[in-house]
């Protein structure tokens, strides 16, 4: 197949019956909260509810199907997580043998999930690039079909099936916001949309720490970028695909970048307001909306929530940090006399402000705590910041020394 947008669109339509046989038709949800705060109608395409927890299954399935049609029984892939699971699941469904190369730093939950689908996992090197080289070498040696995570027309066509569903499920969109790493998702989706809905503005979102696609899009050529540190590992690509960039230059209207802080806010908003768990890369589109990176006022906006495979420990940290940032969770440190009844005074102030004690610890052994005193450290939850002002006033009236952070 060719690599022109019209070829990708045609291939996506041919892939749709195959992809739909093994995947979910994920829902589109109108978010009242996001619509209200942005002054637009915001529709979320929930690929975080897809099988394997990510849109990657679509492209992997289409490419694996094509490999089987060409007579291959062995598929090989390199990935930090979602593509790995997509290839592993697809190969199991299609009766193929899969070998997946993943970095040594890959999240354990993603490694375990890939193995659970029956793939042989090889953890090699520190980066995706290390895995890619080993995977290609292995595929050539063993005669297997290498399934590229993004720079493959068959993968792009598989991702384009998302657009076909969106065109049926949502009203005419003015803007569609899509997470961008290597470009497989946005190039596939944009090829389909520009054919059926040329007036829809397609905007990609990338991490500020890994703006390879953004810089390449601006310079209209492949550009390598420095490696930053970001929680959005799913869109952390050093160099965009040659094929994907070429298609994007013809079909994508703009690329913007968001910070990790923007992504954390988006993940928390999705969790609290829409009850959806999104991984950092999956929440990038919502991050662009919340940080006003895209003009959406008065428009119908689609956002692809591309995945939900977030590490549980990272999610717990994000929830805690978001609550602290919004001053709904704070730490109270109080010096009290080390005698019976002293703690009751502190807890009385907490109770009068209708705050909730999440955790409490007595500290007596630290050098800065006088022998006659104890320090109480309490993690508090409150509905609003005003509660903490009431606690300050109460403790001050009792003559106690304290800090709230």
Active site residues: 56, 306
Interatomic CA distance for residues 202 and 176, integer angstroms: 5
Tell me the Cα Rg of the chain: 25
Structure letter (DSSP) for residue 180 = -
Burial 134-166 (b: 16+ CB within 10 A, else e): bbeebbeeeebbbbbbbbbbbbbbbbbbbbbbb
**What's the rounded Cα separation, in Å, for the pair 312 and 385?**
27
- In a 10 Å sphere around its CB, with 0-12 CB exposed, 13-18 middle and 19+ buried, how is residue 128 labelled? buried
What is residue 400's three-state secondary structure? Answer: coil
Which residues have a Cβ under 8 Å from the Cβ of 186 and sit 6 or more positions away? 178, 179, 180, 202, 204, 244, 248, 252
The CB density around residue 364, as the number of other CB atoms within 10 Å, is 10
Note the helical H segments in 143-241.
153-169, 184-196, 212-219
Name the token pair of 90: 């697809």
- Looking at residue 206, what DSSP letter applies? E
304 forms beta bridges with 45
Per DSSP (E only), the strands in 249-355 are 254-258, 300-305, 329-337
Q: What is d(CA 322, CA 328) in angstroms, rounded to the nearest whole number? A: 9
Edge-to-edge strands, sheet with 329-337: 356-363, 373-381, 329-337, 401-404
What six digits make up the tokens of 189?
């989706």
Q: Are 68 and 39 in contact (CB under 8 A)?
A: no
Cα torsion at 205, 208, 213, 215 (round to 10°)?
120
Total length of the chain: 405
């Amino acid at each position: 197949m060719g690599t022109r947008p019209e070829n990708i669109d045609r291939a996506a339509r041919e892939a749709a019956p195959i992809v739909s046989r093994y995947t979910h038709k994920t829902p589109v949800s109108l978010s009242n909260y996001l619509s209200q705060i942005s002054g637009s109608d915001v529709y979320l395409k929930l690929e975080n509810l897809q099988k394997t927890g990510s849109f990657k299954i679509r492209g992997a399935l289409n490419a694996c199907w094509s490999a089987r049609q060409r007579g291959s029984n062995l598929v090989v892939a390199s990935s930090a997580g979602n593509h790995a699971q997509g290839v592993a699941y697809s190969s199991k469904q299609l009766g193929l043998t899969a070998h997946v190369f993943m970095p040594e730093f890959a999240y354990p939950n993603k490694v375990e999930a890939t193995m659970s689908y029956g793939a042989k996992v090889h953890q090699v090197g520190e980066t995706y690039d290390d895995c890619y080289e080993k995977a290609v070498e292995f595929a050539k040696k063993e005669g297997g079909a290498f399934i590229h995570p993004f720079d493959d027309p068959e993968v792009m066509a598989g991702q384009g099936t998302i657009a076909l569903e969106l065109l049926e499920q949502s009203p005419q969109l003015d803007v569609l916001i899509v997470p961008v790493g290597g470009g497989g998702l946005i190039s596939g989706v944009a090829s389909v949309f520009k054919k059926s809905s040329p007036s829809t503005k397609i905007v990609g979102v990338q991490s500020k720490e890994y703006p390879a696609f953004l810089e390449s899009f601006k310079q209209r050529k492949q550009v390598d970028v420095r490696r930053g540190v970001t929680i959005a590992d799913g869109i952390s690509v050093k160099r965009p695909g040659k094929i994907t960039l070429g298609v994007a230059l013809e079909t994508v209207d703009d690329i913007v970048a968001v910070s990790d802080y923007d992504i954390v806010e988006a993940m928390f908003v999705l969790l609290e307001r829409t009850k959806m768990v999104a991984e950092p890369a999956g929440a990038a589109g919502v991050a662009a909306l919340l940080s006003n990176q895209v003009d959406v006022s008065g428009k119908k906006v689609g956002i692809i929530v591309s995945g939900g495979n977030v590490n549980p420990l990272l999610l717990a940290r994000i929830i805690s940090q978001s609550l602290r940032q919004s001053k709904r969770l704070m730490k109270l440190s109080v010096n009290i006399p080390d005698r019976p009844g002293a703690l009751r005074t502190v807890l009385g102030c907490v109770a009068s402000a209708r705050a909730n004690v999440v955790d409490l610890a007595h500290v007596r052994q630290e050098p800065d705590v006088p022998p006659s005193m104890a320090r109480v450290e309490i993690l508090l939850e409150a509905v609003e910041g005003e509660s903490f002002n009431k606690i300050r006033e109460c403790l001050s009236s009792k003559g106690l020394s304290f800090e709230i952070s």
